[in-house]
């Protein structure tokens, strides 16, 4: 049944994963939890994430009463529940009785029971058992006033451990893969062409001959490998859809699952289309090195990516309030970092700050993972006080923040299918390192204090003044037309070497670069510059070092803005600009150092009017960045924010240095928390986050 999805309550959610199922024999602790949650200004708990063995202790026997009591008690105390489906960890009675629910490895061995996300998404038994428990939860709690959302499973395909990519190689999954291929290609002829199977005598004459790629068999047929990745992501998504359908039976609460940022196995852009809300689990190695700035930039990217999946506020579903116990070195968060790293999520578009976990478990592998409540000392700890004081801050800022979201004018293309294809291209460098080479583009915007959206090749580009598309090796869907149209209508498009190489079947384009007209160039070869060469380019009178990749291209209609200075291709174009229709297209032929990207993207942001609207004199100090949330028509849950339409922008000015940094504001701003009017020079203390509005 199609239902109108209920909106989230209009509040900034604060709380996190709560596992009362581990403490059912300690009513004193459960009572203390409620008392402490109120003290910490917690208004939301994620329940039942790994509780399957408590919810269905025996096959078909559901015990939901304990959960009902907890949900009631939380609700009576002003605490909402995000209720999980428990499929991330299987009860032992199930994996023991039904061997087929366990994933099979690519070597043909079944996994042992235990751990998390080790189930076969094709298994009819797994699906039946999932439907059983999900329906029971939905029937019992789907309309409970305290239950505000469904937390579907947990970190699909993830959660650490070996062989965790969601893939199962059992005969049934292989059969489903063949069905998936039949749908995609229709005929074997089409598939043979798309996969170029004439190579190494791989021509298939029967669908049965197709097997998943494996180190024990065919593992170098690019089309096969790419489609297996697509299938694996789709197959788990199909399972997730069935989970949602099961909870939907009796419930109109929004469905969300927790994503992990740039997580290779799952195409989150595609997944986001199925979910009502998206959320992010943020774990960073704060303080692992003296300079937290690269970590801050990377964390910002994870938040930004998650927000960009739906271009609306997201939820920070998990984060640590102190340390992450699976890091090589588990440093404590320095005073101030808990608040700053949490507000960073809000700055990037989150409408929540949620932790893993509320209370430390007493045993097993996460007993020392950071939590709001420790094994000892109740609420009398540094971490608890930090969390409580952040909770108070969130309550105070909520009216200003709700109904706003980041609305960037610049976008960077990041495409999962491209990622899968380019890593396996067996060219240039092996692997390619798309995420690693892509990140410096994001970093430049972050350093400039410019919000960006991260888009994939299916996203529309209109509305952006600047679109940057690094290493788009594969052009898929309507991307070529989308870009042509975007530039023709006045957009500014920037792309790089190792773009426009293959189509969505991973077949090389013939004749010329598909965007050759737009870019005004002819591409020829690509070099990985040997480390001893130290090549460089010069642009606007400044020299910039080249990192590694150097495309050898020829300008046709494009203007040459910079050339290589060394090696046999000295004098070849390294940076070009072409006018196309009403717009401009730039081609960066080489992989340049950070300084170049900072200068060049800063120049383009200014030229296209996509820079930060916060007025400051001079540049932002190192380690300080800005995000802007502007009023929107709809909130995370699609609600029209009528009361907020009068609101203006909010700027989150964040200092990720442990020491102070001086800003120079060129206009008058008001600190929304203290009311202080700020103009001209202002010293930010270490790890400070200011939230400003125009005064
Ligand atoms: C993941 C999981 C949590 C927990 C944390 C620990 O994000 O979702 O259950 O294991 O990691 O960092
Ligand atoms: Zn399987």
pLDDT digits 0-9 by tens, 225-280: 999 999 999 999 999 999 999 999 999 999 999 999 999 999 999 999 999 999 99
Expressed in angstroms and rounded, the spacing between residue 179 Cα and the centre of ligand 1 is: 34
**Cα separation, 453 vs 673, whole angstroms:** 27
DSSP-assigned beta bridge partners for residue 657: none
Beta-carbon neighbours within 5 Å of ion ligand 2: 120, 122, 168, 170, 173
Instruction: Report the interhelical angle of 65-76 vs 124-141 (nearest 10°).
Output: 40
The secondary structure of residue 150, as a DSSP letter, is E
CA dist 65 to 26, 91, 243, 252, Å? 16, 18, 22, 22
In short, whether 159's Cβ falls inside 6 Å of ligand 1 is yes
Expressed in angstroms and rounded, the spacing between residue 159 Cα and the centre of ligand 1 is: 6
**Cα separation, 88 vs 55, whole angstroms:** 13
Answer yes or no: is pLDDT of 160 > 60.
Answer: no
- Cα 456 to its chain centre, rounded Å, is 12
Contacts of 663 (CB under 8 A, 6+ apart): 616, 620, 621, 624, 653, 681, 682, 683, 684
Could you tell me which of 466, 483, 487, 461 has the C-alpha nearest to residue 581?
487
In short, whether 451's Cβ falls inside 6 Å of ligand 1 is no
Would you report the helix, strand and coil content of the chain in percent, each value rounded to 5? 30, 25, 45
Place of tokens 């999980």: 84
In short, whether 18's Cβ falls inside 6 Å of ligand 1 is no
Expressed in angstroms and rounded, the spacing between residue 167 Cα and the centre of ligand 2 is: 8
Place of tokens 């999954």: 173
Answer yes or no: is pLDDT of 644 > 50.
Answer: no
Whether 462 sits among the annotated catalytic residues: the reply is no
List phi, psi (to 5°) of 264.
-55, -45
In short, whether 282's Cβ falls inside 6 Å of ligand 1 is no
For residue 49, the ligand 1 atom closest to its alpha carbon is 9
The ligand minimizing its distance to the Cα of 285 is 1
Answer yes or no: is pLDDT of 640 > 50.
Answer: no
In short, whether 605's Cβ falls inside 6 Å of ligand 1 is no
The ligand minimizing its distance to the Cα of 121 is 2
What is the pLDDT, as a whole number, of residue 637? 47
Full strand arrangement of the beta sheet holding 452-455:
452-455, 410-413, 466-469, 492-496, 583-588, 573-580, 559-563
The ligand minimizing its distance to the Cα of 320 is 1
List phi, psi (to 5°) of 534.
55, 55
For residue 324, the ligand 1 atom closest to its alpha carbon is 12
Expressed in angstroms and rounded, the spacing between residue 383 Cα and the centre of ligand 1 is: 18
**Cα separation, 146 vs 154, whole angstroms:** 21
Answer yes or no: is pLDDT of 153 > 60.
Answer: yes
Q: Which of 7, 56, 155, 501 is catalytic?
A: 155
Answer yes or no: is pLDDT of 159 > 80.
Answer: no
The structure tokens listed for 639 are 């609600």
Half-sphere exposure of 232 (CA within 13 A, CB side): 26
Expressed in angstroms and rounded, the spacing between residue 579 Cα and the centre of ligand 1 is: 49
Burial of residue 202, with CB atoms counted within 10 A of its CB: 0-12 exposed, 13-18 middle, 19 or more buried: middle
DSSP-assigned beta bridge partners for residue 18: 47
Expressed in angstroms and rounded, the spacing between residue 121 Cα and the centre of ligand 2 is: 6
Contacts of 349 (CB under 8 A, 6+ apart): 303, 304, 306, 307, 312, 313, 314, 405, 406, 629
Mutation choice for ligand 1 from 356, 357, 369, CB with most ligand atoms inside 8 A: 356
For residue 318, the ligand 1 atom closest to its alpha carbon is 7
Q: What is the pLDDT of residues 426-448, one digit of tens each?
A: 999 999 999 999 999 999 999 99
How sure is the predictor about 647, in pLDDT bands with cuts at 50, 70 and 90? confident
In short, whether 690's Cβ falls inside 6 Å of ligand 1 is no
**Cα separation, 257 vs 19, whole angstroms:** 17
What is the pLDDT, as a whole number, of residue 642? 47
For residue 159, give the 3-state DSSP assignment: coil
Answer yes or no: is pLDDT of 641 > 60.
Answer: no
Query: Which residue's alpha carbon is at the smallest distance from atom 7 of ligand 1?
Result: 281
Expressed in angstroms and rounded, the spacing between residue 355 Cα and the centre of ligand 1 is: 10
What is the pLDDT, as a whole number, of residue 64? 98
Beta strands in 364-517 (DSSP E): 404-405, 410-413, 452-455, 466-469, 492-496
The ligand minimizing its distance to the Cα of 124 is 2
The structure tokens listed for 412 are 């960077």
Q: Do the beta carbons of residue 87 and residue 119 sit within 8 Å?
A: yes
Expressed in angstroms and rounded, the spacing between residue 645 Cα and the centre of ligand 1 is: 37
Mean pLDDT along residues 568-595: 98
In short, whether 229's Cβ falls inside 6 Å of ligand 1 is no
Q: Which of 7, 56, 243, 318 is catalytic?
A: 318
For residue 281, the ligand 1 atom closest to its alpha carbon is 7
In short, whether 155's Cβ falls inside 6 Å of ligand 1 is yes
Contacts of 2 (CB under 8 A, 6+ apart): none
Whether 639 sits among the annotated catalytic residues: the reply is no
Q: What is the pLDDT of residues 168-219, one digit of tens each?
A: 999 999 999 999 999 999 999 999 999 999 999 999 999 999 999 999 999 9
The length of the chain is 695
- What is the per-residue DSSP string for 508-560? BPPSS-TTHHHHTEEEEEEEE--TTT--EEEETTEEEEEEEEEEEEEESSSEE
CA dihedral 55→58→63→64, nearest 10 degrees, is 30
What is the pLDDT, as a whole number, of residue 162? 61
In short, whether 319's Cβ falls inside 6 Å of ligand 1 is no
For residue 690, give the 3-state DSSP assignment: strand
Answer yes or no: is pLDDT of 351 > 50.
Answer: yes
For residue 50, the ligand 1 atom closest to its alpha carbon is 9
What is the pLDDT, as a whole number, of residue 181? 98
- Cα 126 to its chain centre, rounded Å, is 27
In short, whether 281's Cβ falls inside 6 Å of ligand 1 is yes
What is the pLDDT, as a whole number, of residue 518? 98
Contacts of 98 (CB under 8 A, 6+ apart): 123, 125, 126, 129
Q: Do the beta carbons of residue 42 and residue 32 sit within 8 Å?
A: no
How sure is the predictor about 350, in pLDDT bands with cuts at 50, 70 and 90? very high
Query: Which residue's alpha carbon is at the smallest distance from atom 10 of ligand 1?
Result: 159
Asked whether the whole model's pTM tops 0.85, one would answer yes
If one counts every other C-beta atom within 10 angstroms of the C-beta of residue 162, the result is 7
For residue 260, the ligand 1 atom closest to its alpha carbon is 7
Expressed in angstroms and rounded, the spacing between residue 333 Cα and the centre of ligand 1 is: 17
In short, whether 314's Cβ falls inside 6 Å of ligand 1 is no
- Cα 11 to its chain centre, rounded Å, is 23
Mean pLDDT along residues 616-627: 98
- Cα 229 to its chain centre, rounded Å, is 18
The secondary structure of residue 161, as a DSSP letter, is S
- Report which secondary-structure segment, H or E, holds 577: strand 573-580
In short, whether 324's Cβ falls inside 6 Å of ligand 1 is yes
Verify cis geometry, omega within 30 degrees of 0, for the bond prior to 431.
yes
Q: What is the pLDDT of residues 323-337, one digit of tens each?
A: 999 999 999 999 999
**Cα separation, 490 vs 466, whole angstroms:** 10
Mean pLDDT along residues 58-87: 98
The secondary structure of residue 334, as a DSSP letter, is P
For residue 325, the ligand 1 atom closest to its alpha carbon is 12
The secondary structure of residue 645, as a DSSP letter, is T
CA dihedral 132→138→141→143, nearest 10 degrees, is -160
Expressed in angstroms and rounded, the spacing between residue 390 Cα and the centre of ligand 1 is: 21
Q: Cα angle at 63 between 61 and 66, to 5 degrees?
A: 175
Mutation choice for ligand 1 from 49, 256, 317, 318, CB with most ligand atoms inside 8 A: 318
Place of tokens 């009572």: 31
Expressed in angstroms and rounded, the spacing between residue 156 Cα and the centre of ligand 2 is: 15
For residue 695, give the 3-state DSSP assignment: coil
Query: Which residue's alpha carbon is at the smallest distance from atom 12 of ligand 1?
Result: 324
The structure tokens listed for 391 are 């909770």
Could you tell me which of 335, 319, 321, 351 has the C-alpha nearest to residue 36?
321
Query: Which residue's alpha carbon is at the smallest distance from atom 5 of ligand 1?
Result: 356
In short, whether 157's Cβ falls inside 6 Å of ligand 1 is no
Q: What is the pLDDT of residues 106-149, one digit of tens each?
A: 999 999 999 999 999 999 999 999 999 999 999 999 999 999 99
């Amino acid at each position: 049944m199609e239902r109108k999805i209920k909106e989230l309550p209009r509040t900034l959610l604060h709380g996190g994963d709560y596992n009362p199922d581990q403490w059912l024999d300690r009513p004193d602790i459960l009572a203390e939890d409620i008392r402490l949650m109120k003290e910490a200004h917690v208004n939301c708990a994620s329940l039942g994430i790994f509780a399957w063995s408590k919810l269905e202790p025996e096959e078909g026997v559901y015990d939901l009463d304990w959960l009902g009591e907890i949900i009631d008690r939380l609700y009576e105390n002003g605490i909402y529940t995000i209720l999980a489906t428990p499929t991330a960890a299987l009860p032992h009675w199930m994996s023991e009785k039904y061997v087929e629910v366990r994933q099979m490895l690519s070597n043909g061995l079944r996994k042992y029971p235990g751990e998390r996300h080790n189930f076969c998404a094709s298994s009819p038994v797994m699906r039946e058992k999932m439907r059983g428990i999900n329906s029971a939860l939905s029937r019992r709690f789907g309309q409970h006033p305290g239950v505000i959302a469904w937390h579907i499973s947990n970190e699909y395909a993830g959660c650490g451990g070996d062989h965790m990519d969601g893939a199962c190689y059992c005969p049934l999954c292989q059969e489903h893969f063949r069905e998936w291929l039949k749908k995609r290609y229709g005929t074997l002829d089409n598939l043979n062409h798309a996969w170029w199977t004439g190579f190494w005598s791989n021509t298939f004459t029967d669908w049965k001959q197709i097997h998943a790629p494996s180190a024990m068999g065919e593992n170098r047929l690019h089309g096969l490998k790419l489609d297996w990745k697509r299938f694996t992501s789709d197959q788990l998504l199909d399972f997730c859809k069935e989970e949602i359908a099961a909870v939907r039976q009796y419930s109109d609460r929004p469905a969300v699952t927790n994503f992990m940022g740039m997580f290779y196995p799952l195409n989150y852009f595609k997944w986001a289309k199925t979910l009502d809300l998206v959320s992010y689990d943020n774990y960073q190695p704060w303080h692992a090195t003296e300079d937290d700035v690269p970590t801050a930039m990377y964390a910002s990217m994870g938040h930004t990516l998650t927000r960009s999946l739906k271009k609306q506020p997201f939820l920070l579903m998990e984060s640590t309030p102190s340390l992450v116990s699976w890091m090589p070195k588990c440093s404590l968060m320095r005073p101030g970092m808990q608040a700053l790293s949490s507000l960073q999520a809000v700055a990037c578009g989150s409408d929540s700050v949620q932790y893993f976990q509320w209370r430390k478990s007493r045993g097993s592998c996460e007993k020392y993972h950071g939590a709001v409540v420790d094994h000892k000392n109740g609420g009398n700890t540094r971490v608890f006080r930090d969390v409580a004081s952040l909770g108070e801050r969130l309550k105070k800022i909520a009216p200003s923040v709700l109904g706003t979201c980041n609305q960037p004018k610049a976008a960077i293309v990041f495409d999962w299918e491209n990622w899968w294809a380019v890593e396996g291209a067996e060219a240039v460098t092996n692997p390619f390192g798309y995420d690693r080479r892509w990140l410096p583009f994001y970093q430049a915007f972050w350093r400039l204090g410019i919000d960006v959206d991260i888009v994939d090749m299916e996203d529309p580009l209109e509305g952006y003044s600047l679109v940057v598309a690094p290493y788009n090796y594969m052009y898929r869907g309507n991307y070529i037309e989308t870009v042509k149209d975007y530039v023709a209508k006045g957009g500014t498009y920037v792309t790089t070497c190792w773009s426009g190489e293959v189509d969505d079947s991973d077949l090389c384009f013939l004749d010329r670069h598909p965007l050759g007209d737009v870019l005004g160039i002819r591409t020829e070869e690509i070099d990985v510059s040997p480390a001893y060469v130290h090549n460089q380019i010069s642009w606007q009178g400044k020299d910039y070092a080249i990192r590694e990749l150097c495309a050898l291209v020829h300008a046709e209609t494009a203007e040459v803005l910079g050339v290589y200075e060394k090696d046999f291709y000295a004098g070849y174009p390294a940076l070009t600009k072409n006018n196309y229709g009403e717009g401009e297209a730039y081609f960066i032929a080489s992989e340049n150092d950070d300084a170049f990207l900072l200068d060049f993207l800063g120049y383009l942001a200014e030229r296209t009017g996509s820079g930060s609207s916060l007025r400051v004199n001079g540049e932002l100090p190192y380690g300080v960045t800005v995000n802007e949330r502007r009023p929107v028509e709809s909130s995370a849950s699609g609600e029209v924010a009528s009361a907020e339409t009068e609101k203006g922008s909010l700027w989150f000015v964040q200092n990720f240095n442990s020491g102070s940094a001086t800003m120079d504001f060129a206009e008058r701003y008001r600190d929304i928390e203290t009311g202080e009017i700020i103009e001209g020079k202002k010293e930010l203390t270490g790890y400070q986050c200011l939230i400003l509005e125009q005064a």
